[in-house]
Amino acid sequence: MDVLAHFLWINALFYKRKKAWLAGLFGILPDVVAFGPMLILYFFIDGVKFGKPDYIPGFVQALYNLSHSLVIFLGVIFGIYFLTKKFYWYLTGWGLHILMDIPTHARDFFPTHFLYPLSDVTFNGYSWGQKDFMVVNWLLLAVVYLMLLIRVRRKKIK
C-alpha cells in the first residue's frame, strides 16, 4: 500500500484518540525506514525522478525486512514495555502497516517477510500498485473520511 494510504487508514482507525496522527506516523515508519535512505541517496545523486528506479540497492531489502517484520515489531513493543512499564498505543500503527502490507504485496516486488528473521515465508498478495486496487482503495478512503466528517459534524451540532 502506498505511504499516504497507510497514514490515512491508520489515522481513520484511531480517529477518536487525541493523537491519532501519531499512530498514522508510526504507520508510515516501516516505509520511511526501508525506502527513506534510498530516496535521499538518489536525490543527491540523480535529483528528483519519478517512477520505478532502475536499481534498488540490497540494503533497501534488508531494511524492508527489518521494518516489515511482526517479530521485530513485537520485540520492540515488548522491549519498550519492559523498560518503561507503559504501553504506547500509537506504536500499533507500525504493526497495522505490516498487516496491511501482507495481502497487498505480490512476491515479485518487495514481498512482506512478516516473520523475519524466524522465517522467510511470504504471502503472494494482490499488488497495491495495480490500478484497480488503487482506485478502490482511494474510493474507500474517500467514503471513510466522508463518514468521519459527517459523524464529527453531527456531534458538534448536538
C-alpha cell at 76: 520492540
Amino acid of residue 42: Y
Burial string for 67-76 (b: 16+ CB within 10 Å, else e) reads bbbbebbeee
pLDDT per residue as tens digits for the range 11-44: 999 999 999 999 999 999 999 999 999 888 888 8
The pLDDT of residue 51 is 66
Rounded CA separation 87/91 (Å): 9
The pLDDT of residue 34 is 96
Q: Is 85 left (phi over 0), alpha (psi -120 to 50) or beta?
A: left
The pLDDT of residue 93 is 98
The pLDDT of residue 56 is 83
Length of the chain: 158
Rounded CA separation 105/122 (Å): 9
The stretches in the chain having pLDDT less than 70 are: 49-51, 53, 158
